Structure 1
């Protein structure tokens, strides 16, 4: 529960006054100053209030109250009292010094520099003190040269000025000159053995050195011996114990801090942090919530609240706190760094780079900023840039051993362009006590399918981390991939024995259950986890996947995902799962509504904005799509999906030149992207520039000769221009690289196109025998038969597929179409089954309407087709089908109305010739 600073009640004040006898205003203020000199702010506050009762307009009392509140860490109250002192014309020099201290403490460094950049004080001591405050502000702004100049001015006004000498060393240290700074600090403590701040400085510099934690703690203890009320030194000692993981030591020192500075915000911040360290996030949040009620814009509280929310997994809440803190003090380095870290963890690496950008523009970035930028670039796939930044960070004297190891690991990643350097990782892992290089080494060995070596690496990791659930989980993964299923299950069970809620192990066991067709076992595992943690987002989403595999109704699956969203409103994974589910069901309206709700909860999320853009494209809403993709590109100018989405939106409004420019920009930004080159090929196809398509394809083949993408593009282009022998050769080239279902379907279609029907049939039978579960090939084979108007052959494929999977909605729908094409009975029943399985799929409803018409039930057909048009007005083909049904039922007026609507679309609708012909026939 939040405890307000305990001021005495009015009755208590009267009692104190009565006990101590009458005292005039000046005596009370003199007593207050004496208490402040001893840092007894509570007693000082009582004396000042006594003075204000005697004389409310006392300028000196207001100033001393401002100073007291400042030392009690109440900046808002201090600002109010200082303003009153100014109104009463209190000493402007003392006011200026306190205001500069106040602004610096709030992180308002720019305000200090702008107001007092031309030092207004004439007194030597006061002038030197102001120069130190200006230097401190410039340090906060990372303007090292300006900071140094202010220190020199302070020393010129008062030679040997101790605060200036201490700050000069801090400025050197901040610029990375740690060894020289440490030597200077040691010299300072020898020359100024009674200066507590010099000893604290020495402690800070020792703490930045490897293996110097004990010496740092001793320096802080020395500072406290000199000044037992030095809360900063005690706070630093608390930080040392946090570094050591000595929470018992932290508790002792927080208790001591409560004696030195009871009920101060700093003390309460440490209480909150200690609760967080014990994972009591609710208690930590309560403490901070109380502080924020009193000072809602205090950057310290916002920063701490953001850190607690992040640790508790409430990422969107963390972003909210930290963004507000950053708006209050844009120059605050620590807030930018924490916010960037949260954004990286939340898969918003591009936004993280934008947050860090100002730190690079004000001078050389510090090591932490470089490391965060590197992690963001790595998340965006720019491993080379990440390696360069981490290398720079690791070369700084204050770089931690973990950071240096991370730099080596990423350098090993970058060396192979994404394929990890196994030899280098092995060397790092053998020399480093941390687990990061071991985990990366195991991943690299798994990529290479070097399972025995991976098991050896897991054994080494086990020695480093014998109590962690990670080694047996990785061991189980290796065993599973190498075919040792029983051993894998044992390893995953061992991991859960170490940590019953270790989700990777549990998820792997559930996945093995699914492979063994034991969906009930998989579900029971996840239900058990949800008993302990009902809101576990991964478990809820995995259960939704299991429901989908089991063929459960779409509405039930959606309820499961919606529950995950409700329990985890800040989870981007849950929100995207809901959007993607609605897309799979063909319900673009529900998907867009879910995406927009996600955007409201998690603004400026690139994956969410991308989906909003795609959904608008699905609905034929090109301008809103442009806006969504434009928002993505403002966050990440090289975002490939957004750039290609922008091209699609521009095509939708008939701006082919703009679309071409967007695709060319995408190819320039990502020359190795098959998606970008495919987009270029698609534009060439629209212009029937088949040779250009093949050029794109050959370019992909040169870049990635061992990957199928380029050969697939060439085969597809040749198919479209009727070059069936060339298409067959391209698809065959793909199949020499890998069993690729798309290539198999393309080869089948090319053989049919080349009139090699016997070869096509033989290939289809061979592929189906080797890949009986390849539903995609069967669907593609049916499409190939349809392209050759072999409707009976397509019907045969769909019937075979439905025999294996009677709930396959696409096969049911397409079989209904094939029966219609051949004027065979039974189409309605198959179409109805497809709609029952996927009621939101508008094209299935469109098919059902056509089957009703095939049975001459035009009333039912038209009624259903009108509903289809209402649900998807952006799909002009549905409106055209409605017009045709109305013509068939002799409703010429209704048909004319729908055809005239289509006529308004102009050349953007490619079937205008058919529309015109139908209108002319009326």
Structure 2
């Protein structure tokens, strides 16, 4: 299927390569003031007026050229810069600006000539020119020269943002996604206020299977930092169109028209938006108008051909698609368009011929295979069709609807990959291969080898803190906390104020109970980076985790919002922080505030509904999603949210009705089909539930979740064997989620302990760092009385996740039951991370009780009970401690309160209540 945002990628990549007398001097000074105030219209008018008055002003012409370049008017910008050159203007920044203009006009060879003929100056100007030169080499496909050139800059100026971004883009070109991601993560931390960094971040995220939402958020962040970042706005519009978010795309399109009304890209996107809205006549008019001046624009030809195809202008669509194929023989979209034309004409054989090259291509996508299979079927070649469908089933599209391209993945053993990365590292002065090798060693838990790679990074990155941050990560994984702290301090000695190192030390301080020290680290860092909202969010998180007063949590969050009040990413992060820490009330308040501030942001309104569900505010959630269903009549979000709400509220009839409404909008939506199956199950309509689950399996044959949905229907009927068989199938599919948890539990439930142990062993060998599964296994082992196994698993979990507070608490309880030492230290560490968790306080009280420190046990248990007032076990424990302390009056009051509370109690709890009451009579 044609995807506008993919079709516009070449345009977006091209755009992303940017980066006298007294009266005259006064005029230039006034213009600089306008520029500083982002007065776009006023700046343009003032520059043109100044040039009219002083036509021989090289500086004014340079400023106009630079300004037009920023606005995307690349042809006129180049003309003005050429005039400045003829007037002998060679002020600071002229050469890199002129080179960028040449690059955006496709005059790559002229940039390379400049490198020979023109002096590039020194310092920042030289670095900036070399970055553009590296981009020119990259545009020619000369990766080696591009790397050499950009490395010249990074050798002298390691923190040059534009140079590092070119490095990242070169990695993206080679599909070195992990390497690009690691470097970009560092760059984002160090330069969170740089719009171009967020724009490149969106490029990386868009390549990831589940990165679409994050990619959109990164583009929004870029625009919040620089509202005139045209390539970011164009990319945002393109992605919004691709994801069907047409109201938001329209809003962004209006802003683009305001800032760049005459830009070719503006018209192009307007046409694609009209196409996405189904305004085919308007789209045809726009595209035909543009074709008069740009008949050989590939992106334009794609949109025009697609429009004609939908309008049944098959002859014109064929002509346009053939022209596109002639211009770009390797463009995968052209044969797909032609194949669809021929299939519409009933010419299956011609469609098969067109798709033959695509099917055999290395980058053949799921779309290619599907079209070729359909063409073969239309041509009557069933054997070829079936073979293609089998191939299609083996692909892994990144979303249910087949995308235009499937990401190319590297296959092979970890050992072979390591050898390849080692060879690259030895030949490359850069660090991309080393970062990939480090990630591989950590994934395989080869910690000594990881330290060797870190040593290589230290040699290649002198004066940088990052290698020492990696070293600390490895040492922590080895259990050497003192060594990890020393490594971070050593890194900061080389690069003072490195955010990643400071934040890592703050986390260690928190674990060591040095909360004020951690808080001061953040405060000092924020002083040097006052506009970095991520640091404010991190400080709030630290205060939240350390149990600080509410105002210490609220103030940095409010400051982060004040910095970027219209940034939905910040508001979503705040809500997530509260949810992660179990404070649903605060999360709900933050979600309500976000929804009030951004009433037209669908994602924020959706988040509000999800938080209301998490807080069990089902009626409010139904109201929120109902409003979305009315305001977004073509979106699945509203009815799907209502369906989920009713299902959680145990109203399966209403859930069924809304799930069906959602499926009217998106017939193959996996979430809607899952809710439909759940609603039928709630109504005990098991055949219909199975039918819905199998419909989901047919629509999403490569995914595990539809199989899990079907398994749950069998579990509801206590049909264990079919459920086990399905869960085993789910493990072989994409995104198995918690299928291994569910399968392991069912195997235990049906007495297949050996099979369960085998599953656990096989899974952990393949996924040695699956902390969630280790935690699950530890809990299961504890419940089964396998205390030694549970203790070993909890210790293994704490090696992988040193800040896993629940594991600390559970291990402490195990040690208490076995009268082993170390319990109190563990639970106190857990309480440093979550000081208001009643379960952790309960464990600490039990630890005091084992030492017969009854006063302390009573004090802590009372605090735990205040946080969980309906907990029967905690009430019984408090009474027991009071009796042991000899305070029978308080114990009697406590037990009388419990007896009159009419709380549900198990037989064992009722028996303990009677036992304690009897002790009071002794």
Q: Which has the higher contact order (CA 8 A, sep 6+)?
A: 2
